[in-house]
């Protein structure tokens, strides 16, 4: 019992620390308000490494939601590219990055032309970039 009482302040401090850290993390949820299934690829600028990374494909059914960005900093530049399965309507922006058209993927250095030549299934897509407003911990992107 004495050991428990001695360790209790450490446990409380650690719990508070984890809570504070989790409150500073942001999340992005994609909501599909379209009348067709949607495929989403995401991108993130990794400032600590100085490179762009893309990953996908995330499938979101009609009326569904999916957490794609988890534990991101409000300072991160993130983005997405999406396409419907029926009409092939595209949700495009201006940032040209690499995706793998053939399968699920993670591409590091997704903005480099030499990366594109590494795989015949790689192609360029124009991603929509965004940042969460300061103080925001959760954002929803509605695809319609």
Provide the CB-side half-sphere exposure for 80 (13 A, CA): 24
* Position 11 in a domain: no
* Position 17 in a domain: no
Domain count for the chain: 1
pLDDT the model gives residue 15: 37
Please state the pTM of the whole predicted model: 0.75
pLDDT the model gives residue 29: 84
Asked if residue 6 lies in contact with residue 117, where contact means CB atoms within 8 angstroms, the answer is: no
* Position 59 in a domain: yes
pLDDT the model gives residue 139: 75
Per-residue pLDDT of the chain (144 residues; tens, 9 = 90+): 555 455 434 433 333 333 333 444 567 788 998 888 999 999 988 877 889 999 999 999 999 998 876 666 666 788 999 998 887 788 899 999 999 998 899 999 999 999 998 899 999 999 999 876 666 667 788 878
CATH number for the domain including 42? 2.60.40
User: Pseudo-torsion of CA 100, 103, 109, 111, nearest 10°?
Assistant: 20
Which residues 6+ apart lie within 8 Å of 45 measured at CB? Answer: 51, 52, 53, 76, 77, 78
* Position 15 in a domain: no
DSSP letter for each residue of 40-54: EEEEEEETTTTEEEE
pLDDT the model gives residue 70: 61
* Position 3 in a domain: no
pLDDT the model gives residue 110: 96
User: Cα–Cα distance between 113 and 63 in angstroms, integer?
Assistant: 36
Q: Which domain holds residue 85?
A: 25-143
User: Pseudo-torsion of CA 91, 95, 98, 100, nearest 10°?
Assistant: -10
CA triplet 29, 94, 31: central angle to 5 degrees? 15
* Position 98 in a domain: yes
User: Cα–Cα distance between 101 and 127 in angstroms, integer?
Assistant: 15
* Position 20 in a domain: no
| Nearest Cα to Cα of residue 139 among 37, 70, 36, 49 | 70
Phi, psi of 2 (to 5 degrees): -65, -40
- CA distances to 107, 111, 126 from 45, in Å: 12, 10, 15
* Position 4 in a domain: no
């Amino acid at each position: 019992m004495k050991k428990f009482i001695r360790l209790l302040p450490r446990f409380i401090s650690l719990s508070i620390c984890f809570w504070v850290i989790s409150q500073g993390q942001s999340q992005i949820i994609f909501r599909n308000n379209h009348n067709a299934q949607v495929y989403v690829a995401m991108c993130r600028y990794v400032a600590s490494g100085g490179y762009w990374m893309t990953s996908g494909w995330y499938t979101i059914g009609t009326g569904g939601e999916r957490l794609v960005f988890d534990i991101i900093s409000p300072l991160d530049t993130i983005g997405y590219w999406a396409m419907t399965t029926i009409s092939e309507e595209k949700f495009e922006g201006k940032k040209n990055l690499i995706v793998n058209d053939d399968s699920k993927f993670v591409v590091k250095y997704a903005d480099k032309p030499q990366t594109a030549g590494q795989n015949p299934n790689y192609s360029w897509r124009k991603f929509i970039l965004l940042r969460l407003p300061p103080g925001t911990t959760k954002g929803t992107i509605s695809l319609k």
